[in-house]
Structure 1
Amino acid sequence: MIPYGRQDITQADIDAVVGVLQSDFLTQGPMVPRFEQTVAQHVGASHALAVNSATSALHIACLALGLGQGDWLWTSPVTFVASANCGLYCGAQVDFVDIDPRTYNLCPKALELKLAQAERDGTLPKVVVAVHLCGQPCDMQAIQELAQRYGFKVIEDASHAIGGKYRGEFIGNCRYSDITVFSFHPVKIITTAEGGMTLTNNAELASRMALLRSHGITRDPTQMTHDADGPWYYQQIDLGFNYRMTELQAALGVSQMERLDQYVGRRHQLAARYNELLARLPITRPWQHPDSYSGLHLYVIRLQLDKIGRSHRQAVDLLRGMGIGVNLHYIPVHTQPYYQRMGFHVGDFPESERYYAEAISLPMFQTMSEEQQDDVIAAVRKVTAP
């Protein structure tokens, strides 16, 4: 089976992890700050905080921005559930904004219309989570302009997008957002086995997130209520969580970062080859906005079902039966039973639902060979033949 995604672990990665195993620190040592500094410098952000998952990163980002009871978080329906759940973790209410039919990202025009209505209703969001689906950035300038007009905060869920660029600058520099989040899950562009990171240019937000990721505990004398009792002393000054990343994970991340640009470049080579060799089939290939340089975590096609003579499910089953590990990213969050119990219904976000009815994620990973890609293309040709 050719998987839709796969990590690339080299001997250098293994040596980096073994080096930590042979050191004095398995957690809370020097490697996590080194990883944070490496990523921050690469993307051009002032502060970076490594955590144990992108879900944890989203949670503490929301908390740092003050999201809580009585507030609203808005995001795209076409994302993993964590992009919405992070609002619920904070006691906020969640709503969605439909996608752009070409980029599959949150649509700025739909956002503007919904904001105008929410202003009349008194239900403006406190936070908007802009998800860079497949690695392609949202129209962040348009979203930032709306944030300034309507007073909400912006989190970039860039779980798919490390190594990508928006308007010639690396995603993660937070030029158009308050906080950016990366994921380092094994199928992502680089991996720390599990892990995530928040980035910001705001020192106060960085300090708040650092506190929240480690139990709300500080050893900083300037944050304490009185002088330390001794060198052992710490204070819990807030209710935080155990969201720390280990030294082992950070060492793997530092090693993987050395190949980030190479990985993204290879994904662009594969995407260009897909674009060329799938051009005449009854599918819609992914469209890239001219302002974007996608991280290309995913290569998503949409089936032109009226032309292929079989259902979406039949096409997926046939491809998997031929050893092509296609997947679907994602089931619109508002159609999940948990969210339907909140009052959402099928039909609420039609562009997202049309996307779900047609989308298939083809295999895309940096070590994919042209022979493997040829097998994928041959299978797609067979499945989409009239």
Structure 2
Amino acid sequence: MDKKKITNMEVKKKNRNDVFRYICKQGTVSNPEIAVRLNMSLPTATQITKELIEEGFVEDKGELRSTGGRRAKALSAAADVKLAAGLDITRNHIALVLANLAGEMLKCEHIYQPYASTDTYYRKLSDKLESFLDGNGVEREKVLGVGISFPGIVDLDREMIADSHVLGVEAVPFAAISRFFPYPCSFMNDANAGAYAEGIHAEEAVRFFYLSLSNTVGGAVFDREELIQGKNFRCGEAGHMTVVTGGKRCYCGKKGCLDSYCAAGCLSEVADGKLEHFFRLLDQGKTKAIKAWDSYTDYLAIAVNNIHMLLDCEVVLGGYVGSYMGVHIQDLWEKVAERNSFGEKEPFVRACGYKEAAAALGAALKVTETFVSQI
């Protein structure tokens, strides 16, 4: 009897969750539509939406246009009733975003703030977050928490930033950072956060490798609504795969890592340090840009093909380079296709969907998704 009761409760919880997510995704819907699309009885759908309205998660918007017969009630998600902030920490900047329960990025801001492993830095970070919230008129009781993205190994079991070569820190407890914020904090690796933003609200269950091409190169495996972490939370660290034996020295101290050949700086260094300028030069057919791009895509093609051979899934290019790549991804695909052993005709590599602050957004969405899963 107890087992059956628990099962019934779980089914009801899943139904509520499915209904709320469906309303968030569709915008404005009716109970009959929910019942049909989610394969549940109309009384069940009606009871669930009634509860969600009473709890403030769904709003009654009046009646839909009649199609002949009684007009159905129009229902929309009150997606802004709860919000989450996202912070992406890099060596020289921070990105701040605000996201709602529907997974929408409401606001985004980038701030120049060089990293320092000090109390002063984290106090400034907290102050900047408060200013960001104030500037967007956010009522603090709506804030579920803040998701924080770090470039490095984020050990969720030991609750610490285990290692960040880029920031020059190791073994930093989450608590040493979260104590500066008046909200619950969650932590993610930056590539994992970018992958999470890319995949969590996909139209259908997807599996892909997210290759983050920013100031450093990172990666993550997203598989059907969850991240694959690995034994030591290092799953997807493609930036440190060897692509040239005895090649350029990487910031990790080893030689020939992909990061040394495919970090964003490999392109921006020929364009006054500005990646956007590099792609303008490439569009204009400038020789120095073409030469740099040809070399860059040679190494990137090796990595993309190797990743695909190992995982047999789509490869999504994110980070700064993935955001700017545009039509030039065709150059990469042609090189990947030449290397591919199976003669696959359909491209299995694409640019990311989120072009701005993807890591900050993914960190924020981890907070909202945790909350939504309990609705």
Q: What is the TM-score normalised by the length of structure 2?
A: 0.30
More strand by share: 2
Q: What is the TM-score normalised by the length of structure 1?
A: 0.29
Question: Rg: which structure is higher?
Answer: 2
